[in-house]
Structure 1
């Protein structure tokens, strides 16, 4: 963990712990003092516990929102709520401090303002439009008016709240004015809560599927709190006592506000995590139709449309090639557009999505990154495939060129050097016979020695030509060349060649030299008493070679002979399998397609 991040976490923990200690301190001290000084008004332990749980829930949710939220304001507001959640019983603790209790009493209902603002900034972390700002402004102004009314006009709270000393800030004694402001503030608060709840509920009902999934809990929680708040305002106005049931409902509803907020943030975070599903598509590049369908599932937005940039025509078009016409956002503006461009500024695509998703910019950033990665992977894959195809074609040309060069060299040796040596031998034989006819025996013997050396050289030249490219393979194919090759192996070889007709020259040459190298390995290393060579052409146009022996096994694929065989087979796009368990002989299976790549 980075030192800076560790420091921020420690700082946040200290702030939340301090706010929790302050809230619990006010709650517990107020309950203790009330139980001593006014037994008749002592609140029940269960009620006090439930009342004290509300700020703790806000603080716990503040810690979560601080970690996963898009903005810091909601978490700070939740901490402020816990600090301003001042129980009425606490005023008996500070009732003798004339300069303190007026200030606290002036803000002891501000938690309602904070709760309303938290709802207004849900889930994005800031106000969405001018209406939200107006509602927040009215709430703030009414809260300030109430604060100054308490500080400047209230002599003391009701006797059942505390036996507070005189207000040191009071400048006038106008109880009617204060009462009007008090009732007005509470009424405005209840009305604003109902307006916020109703507005959010209507937006939820009328909203699209993405809008409902983002705000799926908050309307219910807020509506329950607004109704209970209105109930309390009416009871306060008519001077009646609210029921315990409504009080409990109110506390539960208030506590559900931050829970709903954090649940919405977690849902949005989960949506961003589902962008990983889009990443799986990027492995194979951007299949445009599949990409749009997957994006719609990820965003839970059936209205999603993806328009791809058509560089040839300089316009956007959908996966079917239809150009983008008209206003893709819609006349009512219910959609937003997300342009996706490459790091170099080249347009890639235009994503039309539900307008509510603009509140989750991290999600949209993830979508943009996934799409860019998908396109880049597609381009890279195409370039790699194009390069591999060029390599295959180049390798095929090299193999064919080498095969032609070997055949040409074998013909040159056979038709050139060998013919000259044969002609020279005949002339030397004629000269030797003439020398003997004339009685020059020593010259005849010398010429016989020269002829013997010439025959040895001719034999070596023929073997060299045979190693470069056997003439029997050229004239008769594998059916003649493989048995002749097996006959020169010191280990008895059973040959089964059923390759009908002539095969491509490159394939025949590859198969021949694979068999030659494999039989050479059998003779040198296997200690076998028998070997088998099988060459068959299957129905798929693939030549299958199998060279097997009953030797000691344990052949290493990394040996020079095996590596040479593998290189030859790979050059013609074939495959090789080596099975060589110790003590059980060696089996080499080679499959070579007749159709060369490229």
Structure 2
């Protein structure tokens, strides 16, 4: 955690603890200072004291996950304005203080109303919300001024000293302002609750998801508040049950607030699932379906930019209709473009989702990354295919070059050496007939040297490209190759007919390199070579009973086999546990381009 963030968390924790302490101090001191007969019931006092604690606790959550700091600040200010009626007994002798408390003791209701108005985006959404908040603030200022200038000790339930700020004794005017303020507050609360409730009932699934439980909590509080205002105006004692219900309703407002924004935050986290679903690329049909499921908005439509036609169209190729972009349709359009500014798509979504711009930003990023992933994946696959074809052409060219060298050696150097040997044989015979034994023996020695050179040249030509492979295929070349190994090898070649030339040469040299390793490194007493066709693959298995412990990284020979096999689209598996011999399994495809090689 960054030092700056730790500091902010520490400061906010201290602030929350301080306002909780201040609220509890007012609650407890007022309860203790009240006369025994005037004590409120302990259960009610406890519930009353818990309301500001709930607000303060929710403020900490709102600071952590809220869209802005405004909701958290409103919640943290609430406990300071949650003034219990019993607290006036504590400050009744302070004529300069109790009027100030009396003037703001309903400020918590204003904060609660504004808190609901800024849900869930963290700010006032439209002109109506701003008008409601403005009326509430103006009414609070008027009420505060009336209390400060007109209130008498009878305005509070205590034996308070006279109000030092009072300028006139107008109880009727003060009473009208006092009751009117409460009626205005109740009216605004009902308007807010009604707006949310109607919006929730008429709204789409995303709108209801965003509203969550807030309308129900606010409506319950506003209803009980209205009853309390009427009983206050009629000077009738409020029923304790109704008052307790009101406390629970008030406490539910911040809980619903943080639950709602947590739910919205959870919606943003589902964008990660959207990326997981579409990580292979932006399949257009799948993308629109997954996006609708992520946003829980069945009205979502995705229109992709068609560069050829210069227009947006859906996955089926149907161009976007002008009615889709009409702001009166209840939907909004989210344009998505590449980092260079090139258009990618338009997302039509429920207008309520514009309150959650972080979610929409995440969706935009997910779509952008998905498109980039798809493009990069296509480019990588195309590049890999080009590399594979290039490697295949290199192998084919190598095979052809070896065949040409072997043919040149056979038809050129070998034939010339054989001809020289025949001439030397004739010269040797003539020297013997003439009685020159020394010359004949010297020529015979030269013939021996020539025969050894011819043998080495033939072996070299065979290693470059065995003529037996070209004429008879694997069924003839592999047994001949195994016969030259110093370790007894059992051969089972079941490749029917001739295979593609490139596959045959690759298999032959894989066997040659494997048997060379058997002879040099395995310390084996037996070996096995098996080649057969399974479906459209040639399966080649070379096994020995040696020491094992072989590795693809142990030498260039095994790497050479792997490279050859990979160049023709095949695969190589090596099993070589210590003390249990070595098994090399090669699989090479026979069809497609390889079959045409």
Residues 466-507 of structure 1 show CA distances to partners (whole Å, capped at 9, x for unaligned) of: 110111111111121112112222333222222111112211
Counterpart of 1:312 (choices 289, 308, 315) is 308
Within 2, Cα distance between the matches of 1:33 and 1:554? 88
How far residue 122 of structure 1 moved from its aligned partner, in angstroms, is 1.1
Moved more, 242-251 or 585-594: 585-594
Per the alignment, do residues 552 and 13 of structure 1 end up closer, same or farther by CA in structure 2, a change over 3 Å counting? closer
Q: Partner of 1:351 in structure 2? A: 347
Once the two structures are superposed, the pairs formed by residues 263-302 of structure 1 within 5 Å of their partners are 263-302=259-298
Uncovered stretches (5+) of structure 1, i.e. residues with no partner = none
Moved more, 491-500 or 334-343: 491-500
Per the alignment, do residues 75 and 552 of structure 1 end up closer, same or farther by CA in structure 2, a change over 3 Å counting? closer
Counterpart of 1:75 (choices 72, 76, 79) is 72
Once the two structures are superposed, the pairs formed by residues 188-267 of structure 1 within 5 Å of their partners are 188-267=184-263
How far residue 274 of structure 1 moved from its aligned partner, in angstroms, is 1.2
Counterpart of 1:482 (choices 468, 478, 481) is 478
How far residue 534 of structure 1 moved from its aligned partner, in angstroms, is 1.7
Uncovered stretches (5+) of structure 2, i.e. residues with no partner = none
Within 1, Cα distance between the matches of 2:488 and 2:84? 104
How far residue 386 of structure 1 moved from its aligned partner, in angstroms, is 0.8
Q: Partner of 1:9 in structure 2? A: 9
Moved more, 441-450 or 2-11: 441-450
* 2:92–2:161 CA contact under 8 A, matched in 1: yes
Within 1, Cα distance between the matches of 2:94 and 2:74? 28
Query: Does the alignment pair 1:461 with 2:424?
Result: no
How far residue 531 of structure 1 moved from its aligned partner, in angstroms, is 2.4
Within 2, Cα distance between the matches of 1:132 and 1:295? 31
Q: Partner of 2:151 in structure 1? A: 154
* 1:210–1:299 CA contact under 8 A, matched in 2: yes
Query: Does the alignment pair 1:100 with 2:97?
Result: yes
Per the alignment, do residues 529 and 6 of structure 1 end up closer, same or farther by CA in structure 2, a change over 3 Å counting? closer
Q: Partner of 1:530 in structure 2? A: 526
How far residue 15 of structure 1 moved from its aligned partner, in angstroms, is 1.4
Counterpart of 1:407 (choices 403, 407, 410) is 403
Counterpart of 1:113 (choices 95, 110, 115) is 110
Within 2, Cα distance between the matches of 1:569 and 1:118? 69
How far residue 545 of structure 1 moved from its aligned partner, in angstroms, is 1.6
Q: Partner of 2:31 in structure 1? A: 31
Within 2, Cα distance between the matches of 1:389 and 1:523? 37
* 2:278–2:287 CA contact under 8 A, matched in 1: no
* 2:428–2:444 CA contact under 8 A, matched in 1: yes
Counterpart of 1:129 (choices 119, 126, 131) is 126
The structure 1 segments of at least 4 consecutive aligned residues displaced by more than 6 Å after TM superposition are none
Per the alignment, do residues 583 and 118 of structure 1 end up closer, same or farther by CA in structure 2, a change over 3 Å counting? closer
Counterpart of 1:551 (choices 546, 551, 570) is 546
How far residue 461 of structure 1 moved from its aligned partner, in angstroms, is 0.8
Within 2, Cα distance between the matches of 1:419 and 1:323? 76
Q: Partner of 1:442 in structure 2? A: 438
Within 2, Cα distance between the matches of 1:491 and 1:10? 77
* 1:573–1:597 CA contact under 8 A, matched in 2: no
Q: Partner of 1:430 in structure 2? A: 426
Within 2, Cα distance between the matches of 1:585 and 1:259? 69
Within 1, Cα distance between the matches of 2:315 and 2:331? 19
How far residue 322 of structure 1 moved from its aligned partner, in angstroms, is 1.5
DSSP 3-state at the match of 2:308 = coil
Residues 515-568 of structure 1 show CA distances to partners (whole Å, capped at 9, x for unaligned) of: 222222222233333322222122x22111222233343333433233332222
How far residue 254 of structure 1 moved from its aligned partner, in angstroms, is 0.8
How far residue 51 of structure 1 moved from its aligned partner, in angstroms, is 0.9
* 1:282–1:375 CA contact under 8 A, matched in 2: no
* 1:281–1:374 CA contact under 8 A, matched in 2: no
* 2:323–2:329 CA contact under 8 A, matched in 1: no
Within 2, Cα distance between the matches of 1:128 and 1:41? 45
Within 1, Cα distance between the matches of 2:249 and 2:229? 16
Q: Partner of 1:542 in structure 2? A: 537
DSSP 3-state at the match of 1:577 = strand
Within 2, Cα distance between the matches of 1:96 and 1:186? 27
* 2:395–2:564 CA contact under 8 A, matched in 1: no
How far residue 597 of structure 1 moved from its aligned partner, in angstroms, is 5.6
Within 1, Cα distance between the matches of 2:563 and 2:230? 92
- Superposition CA RMSD, Å: 1.6
Moved more, 543-552 or 410-419: 543-552
* 1:572–1:596 CA contact under 8 A, matched in 2: no
Moved more, 190-199 or 568-577: 568-577
DSSP 3-state at the match of 1:31 = helix
Counterpart of 2:39 (choices 38, 42, 54) is 42
* 1:393–1:597 CA contact under 8 A, matched in 2: no
* 1:552–1:582 CA contact under 8 A, matched in 2: yes
Within 1, Cα distance between the matches of 2:487 and 2:347? 72
Moved more, 556-565 or 165-174: 556-565
How far residue 219 of structure 1 moved from its aligned partner, in angstroms, is 0.9
DSSP 3-state at the match of 1:322 = coil
Counterpart of 1:59 (choices 52, 56, 61) is 56
Aligned length: 593
* 1:337–1:351 CA contact under 8 A, matched in 2: yes
How far residue 14 of structure 1 moved from its aligned partner, in angstroms, is 1.6
DSSP 3-state at the match of 1:336 = strand
How far residue 422 of structure 1 moved from its aligned partner, in angstroms, is 1.2
Within 1, Cα distance between the matches of 2:53 and 2:541? 78
Moved more, 212-221 or 407-416: 212-221
